[in-house]
Amino acid sequence: MKLKEFFNPRYTTEEMEGSRTRYRARYEISAMDWADGKPGYPTIGVGKVFAKGKMEPVSWDQYGKCTRNGKREPQFDLVRKAQREIETGYLSAIGILGIVIVLAYIILSTYLNNLL
């Protein structure tokens, strides 16, 4: 197993078809290719994304990265359910940390004002 696949595993056929895009655009995969012969793990998925009221032809690599007309389109990258949970948890942690910092500042400033 390659090191990249350990930290960023390849998408399975079901994950490619059942994930969502990073910015929740509707998509449809019409064809997949298994160039390296690993069943259940496609190397490329070809389809279309419905964005701004029109269909755009795109392709996704084995890691869910999207390209359109040869250019990377990160807003159409596929996101697994586990990745969504991590992103949600990350935002929650940042929010809680912000609240703790504000509260610590208020308490510390009040304490220092009382000392003087």
Is the pLDDT confidence value at 101 over 90? yes
Tell me the pLDDT band of 114, cut-offs 50, 70 and 90.
confident
* Segment 14-30 mean pLDDT: 89
Per-residue 3-state assignment (H helix, E strand, C coil) for 65-108:
CEEECCEECHHHCEECHHHHHHHHHHHHHHHHHHHHHHHHHHHH
Quote the pLDDT of residue 74: 93
For the stretch 23-39, pLDDT in tens is 888 999 999 999 888 88
Give pTM, 2 decimals. Answer: 0.65
Quote the pLDDT of residue 23: 85
